[in-house]
Amino acid sequence: MTTAKDLFIIAMDPQPNRSVGQGDLSLALAGAELIDLIGAQAVTLDGDGIVPSLQTTLEDRLLNEASAALTRQAPYERVEDWLWRRGRDLSAAYQAALEADGQLAPGRSGRLLLGAERMELVDSPARRQALTRREADEPVLAALAAVVGMEGEPSGEEPDLDDEAVTTVLAIVNDAVMELEAVRQRRSIEKAAFANVWRGP
């Protein structure tokens, strides 16, 4: 299993007290994929630029898709741009992949409503592994979960990681999610102001 799939699974788990926005989760999934690609030595970071290594076949289909989507010629893509491009509708792609693998089934208690019906996790080794990582407070998974609101508010402090590239990705994911929230708030204010104009004094 990948960090991205583990993140999706714990987002679907009924235990968290907060629901997770699809946009926030998609950005975090794109960041998780990039972290896994760094771990697989499929990419390195030059500052905030993503520098691919020789393309290799990875065991996970979605991670392979992420690798194939990398910009392989200079100027290389920045992490922030990758998050917004790769993250578009990524949570739906992970839902479809887990459904195809038999790890999601229609139910009443799923956390995310990503389609016409609510889905829930089935008991599987993948689910148990993801929950074990969460319970162990694995730093990368915990940081990503906090960014999307599953583990309370992000502390604002960088997690204690030895890998500078991973720390960079996590910081940029946090900034992207905050930017998305700012856009939501601005649209909400604009919508309310528009409604007030029509309502009149």
Question: How high is the pLDDT of residue 197?
Answer: 60
Q: Has residue 51 got a pLDDT over 90?
A: yes
Most confident of 48-57, 81-90, 98-107: 81-90
Q: Token pair for residue 33?
A: 């994929």
pLDDT class for 15, splitting at 50, 70, 90? low
Residue type, 110: G
pLDDT class for 151, splitting at 50, 70, 90? low
pTM equals 0.83
Predicted confidence (pLDDT) per residue in 156-171, tens digit: 445 556 689 999 999 9
H or E stretch at 119? strand 119-121
Q: Are strands 49-52 and 43-46 parallel, antiparallel or unpaired?
A: antiparallel
Question: How high is the pLDDT of residue 113?
Answer: 47
Tell whether omega for the bond before 75 is within 30 degrees of 0, i.e. cis. Answer: yes
Percent of the chain at pLDDT exceeding 70 = 79
Angle, CA of 148, 154 and 157, to the nearest 5°: 140
Question: How high is the pLDDT of residue 161?
Answer: 66
Residue type, 139: P
Q: Has residue 9 got a pLDDT over 50?
A: yes
Nearest to 37 by CA among 61, 63, 62: 63
Question: How high is the pLDDT of residue 121?
Answer: 83
Q: What is the mean pLDDT of the chain?
A: 83
